[in-house]
Structure 1
Amino acid sequence: MGWLEIALTTAGLLIGVVSVATPFAADRRARRSKRVGFRKQMDIAIGHNGPAGEGDPRFGLFNDLPGMRDATLVLLRIENDGSRHVEASDYIDANHGLTAEFPGRSIQALDVTLTDEHASLWSHFEDEPGLVVAAPGTLRIPKVPLKPGAYYKILVLLTGGSEGDKVTVAGDIKDGKLHENHSLTPDEKPPVFSSRARWTTVTLGVALIAAATLPLLTPSPLPDDCESGRLRLTGSTAFAPVLKELAQKYRGHCGDEPRITVAARGSRTGVRELALSGEESGSTAGVIAFSDGPRPASYTRLSESRIAVSLFTLVAHDDVRLTNLSVADVRRVYRGEIRNWSQLGGPELPVVLVSRTSGSGTRSALTARVLAGADEPPASSDDCVNRTARTAARVLRCELDSTEQVLDTVAHTPGALGYSELRAASPPDAPKGLHRLTLDGHAPNPDRLDAGGYPYREIEYAYTYGRPPADSLASSFLSYAVDNGTGKGVVATHGHLPCGTPVGLRVCGKDD
């Protein structure tokens, strides 16, 4: 979990805790002040309340009393619900304590009810001024001192108006407040949870949902080994399949943030362009050039990283039927001494050399590792079929721009001999019509490189112009390719030996 998710989750939990604590804290604070509350505990019709002229179900006193057709009973409860004593002197009004209003109704009778616990309050209602009906719907209530938790009730008989009409109580308390409380009426169904409990639950639920979902809705930060930005990978066409998959895996690991493109144009071409563009601009932090073999000695500003040991193989058209060549015979073929495969015990077919252009790292590796530094003969054909150039070369030879072109041409040209990186020439990637050749009986096997014997191999270098900063995308990508388990797995899957493995470290160190 990143720091942003931790922060959001912590904030959500704090909100939840605060939402739970705040109502209780506010209630506690409020209760420490002088508080007089009032509530309407009952407001019911006791009159006929039916249309005139209809039968009257009332009986006895209710039927005998005049004006009872629209009568209602209201029960008011006045209470001290704070934590401080309310004295008679705390009521601000000079003549009375509180005023109850019954708009639209007229007071016909009233009574006060007290429990034995609060019987001492009777005198305040019996002595002057007591309860005073100041107007048909207005009742003056005396200054009654109330201890915390003390209360009294006033039952009022009213006529006119309707059941449920508005009832108000007004008054001012020194250093305190008068407020209305809610009380269930006789016909109300009590809730399962109180209003405070419901609001606390809702608030806490929203806070917890926010704490759980906000991290999911917020973009995750990049892993510690990732960097954002743009990067272009160029150079070796033989290593291009590895680079494409590495770029895809790296982007997936880093949340698709980096923008990495692969534009392979050959090892020498990529290294040369990197060196020249670096000299012109002074920096090419967004470019890495991969090369099958070391850079030219003159490119002193390029910084190298060893990525893998790449394996290459010679391939021949299936009609050639030979499966092994000695290194000595390979050199004779490329010197033009072998012009027909029958000279090596093969079929009666002329030798056709299908080669890469001079910027190819695969070609450079063949020259350095197999041909002992001798270059291939000059190109004599443009189409790998007909001789189109006047040269002293005794064999037909053509040059192509990519590994794929070489393999396709060898597969369709009888007598053809070419070369490629290992995986591209191996099933299921290799085209039909060609097969690999062993050299001196040794097959290209990355698992046995440490034992030596197979010569056609080369270190795969990654070059940057100068050493990239540690927090750059180039540096992060190179670390992913060399040290990350997934990166090394990609390199190995394509038939290369990662330099970041124990065997790879030894081979990469001695293959200079």
Structure 2
Amino acid sequence: MEWLSAENVVAVGTAVLGIVASGVMVWYERRVPRRKRIGYRVQMDNPIGDDVRSGRANRRLGLFDEDPGMVDATLVLLRIENDGSQGIDRDDYTGPEIHGLTAVFTDRTIRGVSVTQPTDADHLMDHFIPDRGFGYEGNTLRIPRVPLNRGDHFKLLVLLSGGDVGREIRLIGGIREGEVHPNRSATPDEKPPLFSRAARLISITLTLSVVTLAGIVIARDDNPPPIECASGSLAITGSTAFAPVAREVAKQYEKKCEGSDIKVDARGSEAGVGELAARGAQSKRSPSMIAFSDGPTAGESRDLEGNRVAVLAFTLVVNQGLDLGRGLSLTDVRRIYRGQITRWRQLDPHLPNLPVVLVSRNADSGTRQIFQRRVLGSWERAPSTSLDCLHKDDRTAPVMRCELDSTQEVLDKVAAIPGAIGYSELNFALGHKGLRRVPLGGAVASVQDIEYGRSDYPYRGVEYAYTYGHPPAGSLAAGFLAYLGQSVGETVIRSHGNLPCSAPAVLPLCDDDGGS
């Protein structure tokens, strides 16, 4: 009989087992609610040097004989892990300080710290910087608010002095709807079991049933791809500042969704939006194209549909030879970009007597549009007087100003030309040599300060993803936008120093268009 086929028998058996397991899990959940948990354990607490006793009890001789500050030197390896059932975000840490957790080493003094063996080095290592609270003093180590997926961990190798091994080590801090707790000691790579024997048995049985059923279904070759996956080609254009995010998300999407081909060709926000509008008007339907724009497009057509995807922070940059101290006021910046300040010494007699060189983006740049709207309050009034930023084509002009096609070109020119000033998306400027970032109105560009309302830094804006009309359901454009708002897209956006609008805490900033 047809209903007694192998597929149906396995399906019915899996369903029955699933109902029973669900009942057990409901019972379990009622007694043991799901919690967010951070566990910590000391995997090593060893002396450094030879175990030789001198006339003073318990003093070790060896590596640090000539350094009186390193008496009783020890090394501690502290593992911190998400051993709960849910992921932990930066917002889940409940302490009032900028850092998330505090490690206290009783009766010992911290001499140095190294971060080692994080689960995801590229993602986690970015958080271990002083700007995010990472540091130590005395016997106290400040640990940043590190987001940890379930099962993620990192290790801290701590050099200490002044106390013997085995002294108490405590991790202090709070997790919303969860706890921070010590785990039992373990070998360096051992992980404690997350589930009981009964839970593991149920999971293994269900897994085997599902794998068997999946094998039968796959053999029939009729299972659909995931709902956000779509095949075909998609062109992404627009913002050069957001292009690295778009490329990384596109790479992840292509890896997950077979048959998808996504090309990123950043040409500037206005140029990209203009190309999208022209192609849509020509075909009278939604083309397979997304145009990213730093801020709302100035020439927005009623046929274009904009989706807010991220909050971006931008910064003014100057050549490394200019030390502007506490930065520039908005009034100073406006005078400079009107051409009223021609030499830096006019602002401060302590500055070098170098001519001001304005290195700007072209008119298609969303970075420039946000700069004009949020900082200058008008367009850049000084005219363009140079094609190469080195030779003034109009010698009567009070100041040299050039326009370039990309953020990278602006940063390279500013780093190479003494007295040059320009602007850039913050994350690009952070990794560029030969530059100084310029505070505005006493505020430093910081994504964290913007996210948590600690700064009214003005040079920021919302990144928009434009489509021509609403992309058809099941199209590659619709699937890519949905993927951008999911966990992978959010992680990529944050890893590039931006704030995802899909995060509930960031949504008010996106609705407010960056505070404009």
* TM-score, normalised by the number of residues in structure 2: 0.56
Residues in 1 aligned to 2:225 and 2:470: alpha-carbon distance in whole angstroms: 23
How far residue 347 of structure 1 moved from its aligned partner, in angstroms, is 1.7
How do residues 216-227 of structure 1 correspond to structure 2 at under 5 angstroms? 221-227=224-230
What corresponds to 1:388 in structure 2? 393
Deviation digits for residues 216-243 of structure 1, max 9, x if unmatched? 8969742122222211100011111111
Deviation digits for residues 15-59 of structure 1, max 9, x if unmatched? xxxxxxxxxxxxxxxxxxxxxxxxxxxxxxxxxxxxxxxxxxxxx
1:236 aligns with 2:239: yes
What stretches of structure 1 of length at least 5 have no aligned partner?
1-6, 15-207
What corresponds to 2:449 in structure 1? 448
Select 2:365's aligned residue among 354, 360, 369. 360
Residues in 1 aligned to 2:224 and 2:475: alpha-carbon distance in whole angstroms: 16
The amino acid that maps onto 1:447 is: Q
How far residue 209 of structure 1 moved from its aligned partner, in angstroms, is 10
How do residues 303-322 of structure 1 correspond to structure 2 at under 5 angstroms? 303-322=305-324
The amino acid that maps onto 2:232 is: G
Deviation digits for residues 344-385 of structure 1, max 9, x if unmatched? 222221111111111111111111010012324111111111
How far residue 11 of structure 1 moved from its aligned partner, in angstroms, is 8.0
How do residues 418-429 of structure 1 correspond to structure 2 at under 5 angstroms? 418-427=422-431
What stretches of structure 2 of length at least 5 have no aligned partner?
12-210
Residues in 1 aligned to 2:438 and 2:7: alpha-carbon distance in whole angstroms: 64
Residues in 1 aligned to 2:447 and 2:422: alpha-carbon distance in whole angstroms: 21
Residues in 2 aligned to 1:318 and 1:341: alpha-carbon distance in whole angstroms: 14
How do residues 150-189 of structure 1 correspond to structure 2 at under 5 angstroms? none
Q: Say if 1:216 and 1:325 are closer, same or farther in 2 by CA, change over 3 A.
A: farther
What corresponds to 1:410 in structure 2? 414
How far residue 470 of structure 1 moved from its aligned partner, in angstroms, is 2.4
Classify the secondary structure of the residue corresponding to 1:320.
Answer: coil
Alpha carbons 2:328, 2:439 under 8 Å: kept: yes
Between the two proteins, the alignment pairs up a number of residues equal to: 307
What corresponds to 1:294 in structure 2? 296
Residues in 1 aligned to 2:501 and 2:249: alpha-carbon distance in whole angstroms: 15
Select 1:247's aligned residue among 212, 237, 250. 250
The amino acid that maps onto 1:367 is: Q
How far residue 340 of structure 1 moved from its aligned partner, in angstroms, is 1.1
Alpha carbons 2:360, 2:368 under 8 Å: kept: yes
Alpha carbons 1:251, 1:257 under 8 Å: kept: yes
Alpha carbons 1:309, 1:507 under 8 Å: kept: yes
How well do the aligned residues superpose, as a CA RMSD in angstroms?
2.6
Alpha carbons 1:355, 1:418 under 8 Å: kept: yes
Select 1:370's aligned residue among 372, 375, 379. 375
What corresponds to 2:278 in structure 1? 276
Select 1:459's aligned residue among 455, 458, 462. 462
The amino acid that maps onto 1:288 is: I
Deviation digits for residues 97-122 of structure 1, max 9, x if unmatched? xxxxxxxxxxxxxxxxxxxxxxxxxx
| Percentage of matched positions with identical amino acids | 47
1:401 aligns with 2:402: no
> Stretches of 4+ moved more than 6 A in 1?
11-14, 208-211, 216-220
Classify the secondary structure of the residue corresponding to 2:409.
Answer: helix
Residues in 2 aligned to 1:470 and 1:462: alpha-carbon distance in whole angstroms: 17
Residues in 1 aligned to 2:5 and 2:393: alpha-carbon distance in whole angstroms: 72
How do residues 96-245 of structure 1 correspond to structure 2 at under 5 angstroms? 215=218, 221-245=224-248
How far residue 285 of structure 1 moved from its aligned partner, in angstroms, is 2.8
Classify the secondary structure of the residue corresponding to 1:373.
Answer: coil
Residues in 2 aligned to 1:339 and 1:508: alpha-carbon distance in whole angstroms: 37
How far residue 412 of structure 1 moved from its aligned partner, in angstroms, is 0.7
What corresponds to 2:476 in structure 1? 473
- Greater CA radius of gyration, 1 or 2? 1
Q: Say if 1:328 and 1:248 are closer, same or farther in 2 by CA, change over 3 A.
A: same
Alpha carbons 2:279, 2:287 under 8 Å: kept: no
Q: Say if 1:399 and 1:218 are closer, same or farther in 2 by CA, change over 3 A.
A: same
What corresponds to 1:89 in structure 2? none
Classify the secondary structure of the residue corresponding to 2:252.
Answer: helix
